[in-house]
Structure 1
């Protein structure tokens, strides 16, 4: 009879009052024969209800339990805590036990910690509040009475009326205090996928007798030239690649620790969206600011931190209750370590952190009345961040020069070496129109254009191109024009240009002297 009553109350509190069961680190509900525990987080308050089989407890056990609870409450952090103890008796409670229960209650207004007790007499169908505290939880009392078969007022009430704070569960599922999903299967699946891909790459590398690092780009690493060439899928594939065993282990451990927390908070589908979106935004950030190729799930891992930061914004009381300042300190330390250590793509970390925060605001833990935290605000912010990030990434000089050097400039040199002057001239002009910032690329490209034009007999155009060289490097421009005039047998003009080149840069003297000697011989 008693176990049945406890189960009914336990279920009703979860279904009708938005309580959630407390679970252990293995994802199992903490539920014993003589005890059931549920909890819920309010805005700034934490409510705990323990259903206890009082007949199985001696007076000394009741006294020690309440004493331990008072001690634990005194050590807890800043949120207000109401830890209701419901002692359930088969019949009229023993007066000695009742006295101990009443004496064991706690009311600390300064610490905002309360330990109110309620007794239930199943035989006589009585529910008695044993505290004189100025609080009433009609929802809890109604459920206790309802399960006894008594008439109650507003049995389906969804608020704790005298506490007067709306309560909504933190996540899609029944979120426990440690935020661990009962079965975080998405986290485990992601770990398996990462490990499997790492094994495939390493086995393949061993079979082919090649270094596994040679497989990163073919397998989908973030590589700016490839992205600018149209391989946009490289924003997502790096999330599943890892450089070495140490890299894989570190990210797998972080995924195991923080993934279970975030998956427990947001639920499986939302968690998957946050993980992938944060990884993509992290790779967009890396694409914007780094030309180095990159692999790893670090952007997604930092997305978890962003998701926890969103909890800090949406429900600061719950954040302080379960994390305190630990997460903030951890984020700062990880970012500082990333900036101080060579070889770490901290741009992806920062991007993942921002991405995790923004996408958490899209999927949300619960409804938020504050318009600044509305879903539409976060959707708009995410779209703006991604669009601006991609625009900057595809148009900044760093990526543009990298793309030119790795692709079109390399092709230009090959065309010039093979004497394809018409094609070289056209490609060179295309490169200049892309406005490269690096002077070495500009100069070399203009030189190849001038050579292509001269080789086709377009000396007037070649001289104009050489004039453009002067704007980048004046000595080289004069030197090039001197050679063009020499080639067209305009010796006096050639001599003037070459002498000017030596004046501006004496390093040309040895070569210019040879050309001047040639000019003197031609003029005799």
Structure 2
């Protein structure tokens, strides 16, 4: 085999693996005598190195093997295939003239077990068919590489140029196809969403405060009691509200990057469906498992994570070669924080994540084969999951915690001396099951401040029924009795308050005042 023939075999082998078998050319050296190929057709993935070398001595062979070992780890890292086996194919004129086998055994193409192994195979003109036939079986090739007999090649150099151009063209085509998967659409709707949530934040701040629970509820935050009363639109309106500037900033940043990436991959129409379906499932999960007032685009943003994970399922190798590990790490950190930080609505996050994944399965990726059964199954699973969340949320027993927001609103109105409004919300809290001693105590205060002492006394006594050691209720009840002229009852109440908090100067002063009046 002369040098031209040797180069021809090198390019015939590359052409077969890349153009006919669909393997991916990862790297081609500047001298075009070394190529790294990723066999990503099916698991377990492996890496193939094809190198063109003249090996006169066994020492040169072993040096080539060491060189392959050193480069293999870098290639594994680049491809995110740290455990992949590497097959090192050396195309040479002749075998080395001296002993060249590794560890006393000639490295024939036997199946390698384990992980992260490197196996070197020497290919000469006389051994090419002998070597490639078992490899074709081991690698599940559609056919054994076709090496053209030398007598049939009129112009080897022209044929080499043709093979080289075809390999490069196929590699460029595949690279362009992979690039186009990330650039199908433009992030038009993402910017519209950003404009909408920032605009809504400014409007909420103008009308009140984005951290004020009353303002948030007025503008459509997720609030279970009102959803139970028929305000289902809060599942969607809550997606456009944010609680404070930091919440807005973090979600806007996430939406800019994640939403932009998903809209580019899926296109605008698919992205709209994914975003709102994820937002709906996130809100439904929050409705089912979280009684607190909540707002934000987090559920829909986690749906973008779900959409990227679906892309990873469909294009696993491309996903992990590009953004895969970053997506998984960031997702893992956010979910962990959701379990560790009580204020984070992790139900909305997980619901949005799952909803975004299945919504992506419903619309599928652009230019993917249309598989109606799979998409129908995804639609049915999504509908069943969403329906289950809603049914559970609407039918589960209420523990009253969802109505604590009414108590908070009532307290805010009380502090603003708007006693009628305070009484209305505190009554809603009590009727909803948030029957804490503080609710009844504040209700009593709203009547007392308007000199309705009979009603005030009843609510203070109700608070004491829940906690007989609640000293402020005894004190306020003493004030009510004193205003009504019942000094004996007032004295009994303030005495009980002093038994609980004997060092309270306010209680002591009231006791002295009652004694003076008596």
TM-score range, shorter chain: 0.5 to 0.7
Distance 1:196 1:384, change over 3 A: closer
Q: Which residue pairs with 1:480 in the alignment?
A: 477
Contiguous gaps of at least 5 residues in structure 1: 25-32, 88-93, 122-126, 146-173, 367-373, 419-423
Q: Cα gap change, 1:508/1:426 in structure 2, threshold over 3 Å: closer, same or farther?
A: same
Is 1:400 aligned with 2:403? yes
Give the Cα separation in 2 of the matches to 1:277 and 1:129: 57
Q: Which residue of 1 aligns with 2:353?
A: 356
The 1-side partners of 2:208 and 2:411 are apart by 25
Tell me which of 237, 240, 259 is aligned to 1:237.
Answer: 240
**Cα distance between partner residues in 2 of 1:298 and 1:326:** 19
Instruction: Tell me the distance in 1 between the aligned counterparts of 2:450 and 2:379.
Output: 56
Counterparts of residues 347-496 of structure 1 (less than 5 Å): 347-348=344-345, 351-353=348-350, 355-357=352-354, 359-360=356-357, 379=382, 382-383=385-386, 386-387=389-390, 390=393, 395=398, 397-406=400-409, 410=413, 416=419, 429-448=427-446, 454=452, 464-472=458-466, 474=468, 476=473, 480=477, 483=480, 487=484, 494-496=486-488
After TM superposition, the structure 1 = structure 2 runs for residues 57-136 of structure 1, keeping only pairs within 5 Å, are 72-73=71-72, 76=76, 77=81, 81=85, 108-111=112-115, 113=117, 128=129, 130-131=131-132, 133=134, 136=137
SS of equivalent residue, structure 1 residue 140: coil
CA distance in 2 between partners of 1:193 and 1:36 (Å): 44
| CA distance in structure 2 between the partners assigned to 1:499 and 1:142 by the alignment | 103
Q: How far is the alpha carbon of 1:483 from its aligned partner? A: 3.4
SS of residue paired to 2:222: helix
Task: Tell me if 1:141 matches 2:142.
Answer: yes
Offset, 1:192: 3.6
Q: 1:143 and 1:361, CA in 2 relative to 1: closer, same or farther beyond 3 A? A: farther
Match of 1:503 in 2: 495
In 2, Cα distance between equivalents of 1:467 and 1:409 = 23
Instruction: Determine whether 1:255 maps to 2:253.
Output: no
- Going from structure 1 to structure 2, the CA distance change for 1:13 and 1:504 (only over 3 Å counts) comes to same
Secondary structure of the equivalent of 1:300?
A: helix
| Alignment-derived partner of residue 42 in structure 1 | 42
Instruction: Give deviations 1:308-328, integer Å, cap 9, x for gaps.
Output: 59979x999999999998876
Q: Is the contact between residue 242 and residue 295 of structure 2 (CA under 8 Å) also seen in structure 1?
A: no
Q: 1:437 to 1:191 in 2, by over 3 A?
A: same
Matches of 2:182 and 2:418, distance apart in 1: 60
Shift of 1:136: 0.8
Relative to structure 2, which stretch is displaced further, 66-75 or 230-239? 66-75
Shift of 1:396: 5.8
- Alignment: residue pair count: 433
Q: Deviation at 1:235? A: 3.6
Distance 1:269 1:416, change over 3 A: closer
Q: 1:401–1:436: 8 Å Cα contact kept in structure 2? A: yes
Change (3 A) 1:244 1:320: closer
Q: How far off its partner does 1:438 sit?
A: 4.5
Shift of 1:251: 2.6
Which residue does 1:171 correspond to in 2? none
C-alpha deviation, 1:233, in angstroms: 1.9
Deviation at 1:497, TM superposition (A): 1.7
Cα gap change, 1:513/1:430 in structure 2, threshold over 3 Å: closer, same or farther? same
Q: How does 1:207-286 map to 2 (within 5 A)?
A: 226-228=221-223, 229=226, 230=231, 231-238=234-241, 243=246, 247=250, 250-251=253-254, 255=258, 260=261
C-alpha RMSD of the superposition: 7.0
Q: Is the 8 A contact 1:82 1:113 kept in 2?
A: yes
Residue 271 and residue 430 in structure 1: after superposition, are their counterparts in 2 closer, same or farther (change >3 A)?
closer
Alpha-carbon distance in 2 for matches of 1:233, 1:482: 48
Q: d(CA) in 2 for partners of 1:131 and 1:226?
A: 66
Q: 1:291, 1:402 within 8 Å by CA — same for their partners in 2?
A: yes
> TM-score normalized by structure 2?
0.53
Unpaired runs of 5+ in structure 2?
1-7, 56-60, 101-105, 147-172, 369-376, 499-505
Q: How big is the shift at 1:436?
A: 2.2
> In the aligned structure 2, how far is the partner of 1:379 from the partner of 1:248?
25
In 2: Cα distance, 1:276 partner to 1:349 partner = 18
Task: Return the alpha-carbon distance in structure 1 between the equivalents of residues 298 and 404 of structure 2.
Answer: 28
**Aligned residue runs from structure 1 range 201-212, under 5 A:** none
Contact 2:282/2:347 (8 A) holds in 1: yes
